[in-house]
Amino acid sequence: MASPRHLLKLSGALLLLCVGVCVARNSDFSIVGYSEEDLSSIDRLVELFEKWLAKHQKAYASFEEKLHKFEVFKDNLKHIDKINREVTSYWLGLNEFADLTNDEFKAAYLGLNAAPARRGSSRSFRYEDVSASDLPKSVDWRKKGAVTEVKNQGQCGSCWAFSTVAAVEGINAIVTGNLTALSEQELIDCSVDGNSGCNGGLMDYAFSYIASSGGLHTEEAYPYLMEEGSCGDGKKAESEAVTISGFEDVPANDEQALIKALAHQPVSVAIEASGRHFQFYSGGVFDGPCGAQLDHGVAAVGYGSDKGKGHDYIIVRNSWGAEWGEKGYIRMKRGTSNGEGLCGINKMASYPTKDK
């Protein structure tokens, strides 16, 4: 009977027939997670899988499951390598999602319920009269002390809560000078008017909850559980809540309006993040294939330009941990001449307001 390692080797031979040994221009192992040598033999391919398992602390219930995951890993590696040889503006890598099919990935890591019924509940846009000529050429709220460390939602469809919290942390830091990590878990447990915890939600509903409930407690006082809990669990009575006065929607499909808002504060945005290019994004200015069926809430925290390649971009903070993308961030191309923006980023942006 063939050994488990021998079966992995036989399985790996199929990938070698498809991929060959020519890998991406950006094939530095530290960036994309594999090298030309890893694709040069079945032994190296099996070794790569084992190293990837160790790095991401993966363990499976049976050898059959491991063999299945190796098949998925091979298929994803084939896709990653193919795109890296074709694309120059961004690159893909073997991140922690490399043993997930795209369907499995979508089921576990998204979670935006883009119900438009309450969009427009706040009709004003305070930055409407800001002149485009007065906008700075680039803004990075990370450098201005208005963005906390990248967080990880895990396998809970709570992206909407992380997007909301990032925007509230930002405006609170700008107004008060204090950068405080706030609680996504409180929103998951307590913001239930229109939101469904780990089964998805919408940032505007969460802003409404924060404005009407007396504020949001700190992450330390109300830590993240990666699952739904009872409202109030873990909340310390002595913990001070961060308040907002309300929220406003950025005019839909208007990139200039989004940039105006983003020049003044971090902004919650919704995008379509379900594609395989997005799943394995590792760096560069992303301009890959994606539609505008909004399924993921993230936070825009700045904008700028890649002077070397002439690409304008929006800096987006994700909630899949610091090992995804550019240490948890993605630079998404702007100026696409499409009103909806790349991956629909201009369709449904909003931001909290806070009185000074």
The catalytic position among 159, 190, 290, 343 is: 159
DSSP-derived pairing of the beta strands 90-92 and 311-317: unpaired
Helix ranges (DSSP H) in the chain: 4-19, 29-32, 42-55, 63-86, 102-109, 159-176, 184-190, 203-213, 255-262, 276-279
Residue with tokens 């942006």: 349
Whether 26 sits among the annotated catalytic residues: the reply is: no
CA–CA distance, 307 with 59 (Å, rounded to integer): 43
Select which of 290, 296, 311, 346 is catalytic.
296
Residue type, 71: E
Distance CA 193, CA 40 (A): 54
What is the DSSP pairing of strand 329-333 with strand 267-271?
unpaired
Position 111, amino acid: G
Q: Which of 172, 318, 343, 346 is catalytic?
A: 318
6 a catalytic residue: no
For this structure, is 277 an active site residue? no
Separation between Cα atoms, residue 56 and residue 98, nearest integer Å: 10
Residues known to be catalytic: 159, 296, 318
